[in-house]
Amino acid sequence: MTMKTAFLFPGQGSQEVGMGKELAESQPAARRVFEEADRVLGMRLASLCFEGPEEELRLTVNTQPAILTTSIAALGVLEARGAQADFVAGHSLGEYSALVAAGSLRFDDALRAVRKRGLYMQEAVPPGEGAMAALIGINIDMVHALCAEASELGVCAPANINSPSQTVIAGHRPAVERAVELAKARGAKRAVMLAVSAPFHCELMKPVADKLETVFKETVFSDLKVPLVTNVDAELTVSCVEARDSLLRQVASPVRWSASITRLLDEGVTRFVEVGPGKVLSGLVRQISRQCQILNVADLQSLDATATALGL
């Protein structure tokens, strides 16, 4: 029986200086992607990815196009080896990469959109007012209860439901800090504030969705050639209308990553390939299921290992 394969695309937090450098230096398919990104954005994105500085790479307005570009470069070399996906999914920002992979968005259009998305997110909440935190070792029902209790100090809600035991919350800083204190008191294995520039995937991001809607009016979305599992609903779609709607709704809604992976498992996926920098998603998949093969493509070594595992 043929194994069903899903390509997974990382989001913000997977960036690191040096990402994509090895692939771009040795693989023409990757090099072309970085050259196109530099041309479309009118900036030296490639050198920012390859050499930093890290502080600049960490700015949301730069991080988002940088991760998208590195992911599509990795996808290019993987596809050049003959790899194909049966399904795609992306974590937050990664949903744009997934739509490029599925043939719904052109790479240059996706680049322009995520550059603006990053800018709008950076501007949405004044620095220091918002925050995010990771709660590990407590289930989602407990997280909802903690957030409800902390909400008397401001917005506080689940932002990334990453696995049965890991949820990231977002909102106003005092409320998020209170939820962290409560989580520690209620037996969480870990509860830590995250070094992020904005409180993503909560209602404070609603103005971003409104601005993105204007951007999307000038962006062409095509029906998908490969089914996507959306962040907001954890449902499959090949409709360009549904995919576009999902991108707008995910800005101020939680990323239902655990449910998305479970949906793919229900569809018979037994192999996941993380395409792009880092191995964050690989780790989350392991928390959800131990019964599947998990591969990644971020550099030459992982490319060769994955190509061998895929029989290419």
Catalytic residue among 172, 197, 201, 302: 201
Whether 201 is catalytic is: yes
Query: CA torsion 211→217→222→226, rounded to 10°?
Result: 10
Distance separating alpha carbons of residues 62 and 38, to the nearest angstrom: 12
Distance separating alpha carbons of residues 74 and 72, to the nearest angstrom: 5
What is the 8-class DSSP label of residue 216?
H
Distance separating alpha carbons of residues 257 and 284, to the nearest angstrom: 9
CA atoms within 13 A on the CB side of 143: 28
Question: Is 235:217 a contact under the CB 8 Å cutoff?
Answer: no
Whether 92 is catalytic is: yes
Q: Would you call the peptide bond into 53 cis, given omega within 30 degrees of 0 as the criterion?
A: yes
Catalytic residue among 14, 71, 92, 260: 92
Positions marked catalytic: 92, 201
